[in-house]
Amino acid sequence: MSVDRLRQLAHRDARPRKIKADAGTCPKCDSHYSADEMQRNLRVCPACGHHFPVTARERMEQLGEPGGYVELWPELRAADPLQFTDLKPYAERIADAEKSTGMGEAIVCAELEVRHQPAVAAVMDFTFMGCSMGAVVGEKFARACDYAAQKGLPLIVVAASGGARMQEGTLALMQMAKTVIALDALAEARVPVVVVLAHPTTGGVWASFASLGDVTYAEPGALIAFSGPRVIEETTREVLPEDFGRAEAQLRNGQVDDVVDRRELAERIGKVLHILRRPEMEGNGSTASPALQWAQGGAQKVKSMVGRIRPGSTDGEDA
């Protein structure tokens, strides 16, 4: 044993002991919280605002009313048409994911109310194989779009994904086109789509339906990009900005409408749904939605201005 080495150890600078992180430890500020505290705060750190990941069903409970939600098509399960095997067979990966998460797939669709506004929600869960998009994810999303169009209900999408599911090959890539076409049908039906981008939203999901919302929100700090900064730096050998692909940078670039704290998300979505509510869904004898009232008021002002500008017209009919 070297005496010189022992002297160096004795005189080295003391380093603060870092407590091992767990589910109740904030990775950003090292604050500690109990499970009850985290649940009450919607899994957001009260000290620094770090957003912890949440499961799809937990997200439904956060957005919906206390009465709960009605899950749609929970019986759908992934097949293994390619008989794919890497380190383990794809069928085993699916079985392990179902056992560890208690879910049948990486997306949960449901009918619920957000601040008393009825809607259809399609919420992705990153804990299920990184919420990669396979055939079942695309099918459930397309069904949610059809269901929303038939009932005239707005669609709320919460995206968090690593991209297409490589174990399904081209079948997974086909879901990009399938989900985009499903949203086109909603646009034709004049049904609004509100998208919430959670951490991370990348790959084929961001390159398809996650970027096509009528109103798009993002959670603070969420990575939103086709490829992550590490992959890009390794490929291009270039140093990227620290906030590359983050929600705040995407807001500056115009890719999202706003960055919204999770604790304010349900209230914000409820207000947007109230504004975008379809007039034919108002019921007999009730007033039209605020958006329709504003549009009608603007049209009346324009009509009045045209009538004043053209002396030969009394009510603007010649315009």
The backbone torsions φ and ψ at residue 44, rounded to the nearest 5 degrees and listed phi first, read -120, 130
Confidence of residue 317 (pLDDT cuts 50, 70, 90): very low
> Is residue 241 pLDDT above 70, yes or no?
yes
Least confident of 194-198, 213-217, 276-280: 276-280
Q: Taking residues 220-232, report their average pLDDT.
A: 94
pLDDT, residue 90, reads 96
pLDDT, residue 65, reads 87
The backbone torsions φ and ψ at residue 173, rounded to the nearest 5 degrees and listed phi first, read -65, -30
Hey, what amino acid is at 283? G
Span 262-283, pLDDT tens digits: 999 999 999 999 999 866 555 4
Predicted TM-score (pTM) of the model is: 0.80
> Is residue 143 pLDDT above 80, yes or no?
yes
Is residue 151 within 8 A of residue 141, CB to CB? The reply is: no
> Is residue 318 pLDDT above 70, yes or no?
no
**First vs last C-alpha separation in the chain:** 99
User: What are the chain's domains?
Assistant: 24-52 (no CATH), 54-277 (3.90.226.10)
